[in-house]
Amino acid sequence: MVKLRLKRCGRKQRAIYRIVALDVRSRREGKNLGKVGFYDPTQGQTYLNVPFILYFLEQGVQPTKTVHDISKKGKRSRKELRVNY
């Protein structure tokens, strides 16, 4: 199963996160299937590649709760990301 989740980047005490499509069995720093955006919590910046996210959602990929919350804050998406728990 594939999910949209966060991948940590940056240096110590200055973390930024890439929003990527990853297999749920892989590690956080594992090989990703596609980069769909990034999130910088220190600066409050968010970038979402909406067409790419919608492509993955059509393929059945589910976002994690954190990615879902980030996308709601960004309000750049034209279509709400749905989470099935």
Residue carrying structure tokens 């492509």: 55
User: Is the pTM of the predicted complex or chain greater than 0.75?
Assistant: yes
- Give pLDDT tens digits for 15-43: 999 999 998 887 767 788 889 999 999 98
- Residue 40 has a pLDDT of 92
What's the chain's Rg over C-alpha atoms? 12
Residue 84: pLDDT over 50: no
